Amino acid sequence: MVRIAAFGDNNVDCYLADGRMYPGGNCFNLAVYARRYGALSAFLGAVAEDAAGSLMRRTLSAEGVETERLRVVPGITAYCFIAHRGGERIFLDHDLGVSRFVPAAADLDYLAGFDAVHVGQSSGLDDWVAAVARGTRLSYDFAVRRDPWHRARLAPLCWLAAFSAGDLDRAGAIGLVADARARGAVWALATRGAAGALILGPGGLVEVAARPIVPVDTLGAGDSFIARTLVGLLRGEAPEAALAAAAAAAAETCGWFGAVGHGEPIDVPARPPASPQAP
């Protein structure tokens, strides 16, 4: 069984529409999804000793994710407030809380014991990804960040480089993954929402259509796509099979509120901002 560690961000997504907070964050989500898709997974990050942090820890435990290197520290667990308008998410306010941290040498030693480690660009850990990549395969989510200098710095370290490219046409998405491959990434994935996804690897380009659905909530769909792709490639699945399974996983993720579910009443130390009025 493959072993995947996710190293970095977490937060509770506070939905003003239903007054509930849902555990999330790119790396947190990936750890949960990887476990759901049959990998042994771990999450290394930082939460506080508050209600949101307790929700994060209980969710990881319920999902069977290893938490040996999870930090529980004084402060505020990261959160963001989300409103919805016309079916579209609107991010209103956030606080990074204690989610940003400096890894210790023992953390890097621990991560080297996994088949792959996932880091997201939102985690603020770019200065340590080279050390991670020296110890194991690196999965890195560039999300919508596309600065050429940033890609030139990190793509050579990547076993899997992932990009969110819903705003690009097919040619633009292919150009993005081709550039990442040219800079040294073994696999380069671009998710494009309803337009599907594509991956470029040693055997060439593979594309998959999105599953036709009426989404309940799209939060986490991209993270689940990355997670299922990573699990599949590590298992030795053909990229066509891995992407087809990832498309099915992303569609399933859109069937519940929050990235991984586990919602509870909002309990963060901030007053929710005013929700924008529907048009």
Identify whether 274 is part of a domain.
no
Contact (Cβ atoms closer than 8 angstroms) between residue 76 and residue 89: no
Identify whether 112 is part of a domain.
yes
Q: How many domains does the chain have?
A: 1
CA distance 18 to 39: 32
Largest Cα span, the chain: 52
| pLDDT tens string 216-238 | 888 899 999 999 999 999 999 99
Identify whether 138 is part of a domain.
yes
Identify whether 111 is part of a domain.
yes
pLDDT score of 87:
52
**DSSP H/E element including 160:** strand 160-164
What are the start-end ranges of the H helices in the chain? Answer: 26-36, 51-63, 105-111, 129-135, 148-154, 170-182, 221-235, 239-253
Contact (Cβ atoms closer than 8 angstroms) between residue 239 and residue 203: yes
Identify whether 279 is part of a domain.
no
Query: Would you place residue 40 in the very low, low, confident or very high pLDDT band (cuts 50, 70, 90)?
Result: very high
79: domain CATH number is 3.40.1190.20
Identify whether 242 is part of a domain.
yes
Identify whether 273 is part of a domain.
no
Q: What angle do CA 78, 79, 83 make, to 5 degrees?
A: 165
Domain enclosing residue 141, as ranges: 3-265
**Residue 20, beta-bridge partner list:** 15, 265
Query: Would you place residue 191 in the very low, low, confident or very high pLDDT band (cuts 50, 70, 90)?
Result: very high
Identify whether 275 is part of a domain.
no
Give this prediction's pTM. Answer: 0.95
